[in-house]
Amino acid sequence: MSARASALGLLLLSLLMVPASVVAKCTGSIVNPLTETSWSCLYPIRMAGVRVSPSAPDPEAYLSQPLCSCQDGANLRVGLIMGFREPSRLEDTVKDAWCFAGFGMDLGSSNVWGDGGSEAQGSKRGIEQGYSAEVHSYFYNPLYLMELLLDMRCMEKIPVGISDLSEVRPDHKDGPLNLMLYPETLLFSNPIATAACMADAVGATAGYPLDALFWCAGSWGSVYPMTGTSQQKGGTNVEAAANVAAKSIARGHRNLTWWGTKGQAALCGMYPQPVWMKSQYKLQPVRPIRSALCPPIGRTELLWGAGNNPPVPQRADNFSYMVWRWRDCCSF
């Protein structure tokens, strides 16, 4: 883990050292871990199967048994089951290439309104018309940055670093190449699979995303193809951007760079989860504006998206989300 964190730190440092001549148009500031984190998203907190936080009852499935045990080297340790939402990542969905909205810096050279991310344009590499954006994923845990709960076994202790840059992935906007990498896309490119997503949209809006329909992102659209595009064509691009962010998370699971943290299998540590569990995540918009809401994957923007994309040059359509991940663990 330390070697991976060191490598990510070196990558981030190298990006920060890019010559100033390439710094371009998008503006903003780094997400403040104290003032811009919506701490209410941490709730509900469960200890030994009992909700101990002041929040309303949680719709997510939870483990009801109080005790657990894990093998810790030669020792078998017994502890209490704990469940909570952990702020674990930042996820950018931006119209301007190399615009790091969550970090408040731009290493690209796009114009004020971007490279066509918010307009209907055809790709030179065979991508369909529609909303198109670049994505960046960062390790970013406000609890770790503020050195809170560092002795807690359940918290992931990884410093800030970059885990995904779509600008360097040729499959991000290349439809045929993406199909070769994710051939299951063909299974979900039909009217029946698309119609099934209506049920997921209803469930997600009520707070219950349907994990069985893993190819759907509720009212945000389909997860496939796992490219940086979306066919959601709302006037504000709020749902389209959220759809691309959801695709990025699902692709991370598919490539085993994102792991499972929910359920019995996660009590003693994260586990490989190639098919994502949508109910594991909620997204808090933090750019271009900071929202106090944390919608589940697929909830209609009517309940959370108002004013999330103000028409401000150099900021419009450059979104960043704090990813809140449900964490079940055995706390000693």
Average pLDDT over residues 102-109: 80
Mean of all residue pLDDT scores within the chain: 83
Residue 29: strand, helix, or coil: coil
Peptide bond into 44 cis (omega under 30): yes
DSSP 155: S
Residues 37, 4: Cα–Cα separation, whole Å: 26
Residue 167: per-residue pLDDT: 93
Q: How many domains does the chain have?
A: 1
**Bond before 57 cis per omega within 30 degrees:** no
* Distance between CA atoms of residues 143 and 304, nearest Å: 25
Residue 42: helix, strand or coil by DSSP?
helix
Average pLDDT over residues 49-57: 76
CA Rg value for the chain: 19
Separation CA 74–CA 177 (nearest Å) = 47
* Residue range 28-38, pLDDT digits in tens: 789 998 899 99
User: 113 vs 6, which has greater pLDDT?
Assistant: 6
Q: Are 52 and 42 in contact (CB under 8 A)?
A: no
Q: Given this model, what pLDDT does residue 150 score?
A: 54
Average pLDDT over residues 276-280: 94
Q: Which residue has the higher pLDDT, 194 or 58?
A: 194
Burial of 167 (0-12, 13-18, 19+ CB in 10 A): middle
* pTM for the predicted model, two decimal places: 0.85
What is the per-residue pLDDT for 251? 96
pLDDT, tens digit (0-9, with 9 covering 90-100), for 218-238: 999 999 999 999 988 667 899
Q: What pLDDT is stored for residue 60 in this prediction?
A: 66
- For residue 144, the tally of other CB atoms under 10 A from its CB is 21
